[in-house]
Amino acid sequence: MASHRRPKQPNRARVSFLTAAAAAAVALSSQAAVAAPAKPGKDEVKAKVDALYEEAEKATEKFNGAKEQQEKLEKQIGQLQDQVARGQGELNELRNTLGSMASAQYRTGGIDPSLALFLSSDPEDYLDQAAALDQLSGQQVEAVQKIQAKQRTLAQQRQEAAGKLKDLDATRKELGDKKQTIQGKLAEAQKLLNTLTAQERAQLKDEDTRASRDDSARANLGSVKASGRAGAALAAAKTKLGSAYISGHEGPNSFDCSGLTQWAYKQAGVGITRTTWTQAKEGTRIPISQLQPGDLVFFYSDLHHVGLYAGNGMTLHASNPRGGVKYEKISYMEPQFGVRI
């Protein structure tokens, strides 16, 4: 026989506990929903990555400047060290000459006391005593004065070399700091790209490829033809379309922005400096409206990016690690002015 007994009703304490537990579960679910932000979409990731690439490029140009300064200091230090070595040899010869004079004087009647004092004490201290020079012969005075001048020159050169070495240490530290900044920005950008699915990454690549193809076609429609060394530089840069963008590289197979422009003009037989900021000071500055193919074009208010004007409102530049060397509308960036080399 089936039982018709009514189920036992839960007491008030049990109801309160279950209600509180359910409320807590709902609250935790709500918090979890708030704490888990939506995954950024392809376009948002692209915008963030491009911003990181731009920050990395700013650091790259500072790195290039520090590297150029390091090479300059190393060259100057080498020249100073060579000068010091040669000067020390000349000083030794002068002292030998004076010693020969003293020996000859001794053989002919005894060495002059002042000359003996000069030879046996610190010359640099003794030479400052002008009264001692009055007791030497004219030839000996000339020899002593040459030694004095050489010693002072050597002291100045050694001091200058020491200062350059100190500057070099600071420059090397700056290089290390800038390199670390660049690597950090690029690593952050790659981390963002890795959040995309394989399909999203493929779509992003297809979009970049189509844009680059359209920009290339638009650049080839330019009616003004390049000529002279600007034309030769642009022609050289065109041979590097599709090359990789790598911070600090200046060719021949990979470039950063100022590395490409420097390399291109070198192929045209023209030497220009390494960074965007120094390249902006070379040649003749011209407004954007007067650009001709092969002119340098500088972008953004701090001038951290440069390309070659390719005609028809286009630039040929080393863009970023995703785009490499390609054509692009100058209006996509923030063109400031051009420079005609």
Q: What is the pLDDT of residues 247-280, one digit of tens each?
A: 999 999 999 999 999 999 999 999 999 999 999 9
* Helix (H/G/I), strand (E/B), else coil: 260: helix
Q: Which residues of the chain have pLDDT under 70?
A: 1-38, 97-141, 220-225
Identify the bridge partners of residue 311 per DSSP, sorted by sequence position: 314
Which helix (H) or strand (E) segment holds residue 314: the answer is strand 314-318
Judge whether 330 and 314 are in contact, CB under 8 Å. Answer: yes
Distance, CA of 209 to CA of 214 (rounded, Å): 9
Q: Is 304 annotated in the active site?
A: no
| Residue keyed to tokens 């090479």 | 71
Q: Is 305 annotated in the active site?
A: yes
Q: Is 317 annotated in the active site?
A: yes
pLDDT at position 130:
45
pLDDT at position 33:
47
Identify the bridge partners of residue 325 per DSSP, sorted by sequence position: 318
Catalytic-labelled residue, pool 4, 249, 304, 317: 317
Distance, CA of 128 to CA of 106 (rounded, Å): 24
Give the type of residue at 321. P
pLDDT at position 222:
59
Distance, CA of 242 to CA of 318 (rounded, Å): 9
Catalytic-labelled residue, pool 4, 249, 304, 305: 305
Catalytic-labelled residue, pool 4, 249, 257, 304: 257
pLDDT at position 196:
86
Structural domains present in the chain: 42-193 (1.10.287), 199-340 (3.90.1720.10)
Q: What is the pLDDT of residues 115-145, one digit of tens each?
A: 555 554 455 555 555 444 455 556 666 777 7
**Other C-beta atoms lying within 10 Å of the C-beta of residue 291:** 23
pTM of the model: 0.63
The secondary structure of residue 300, as a DSSP letter, is: S
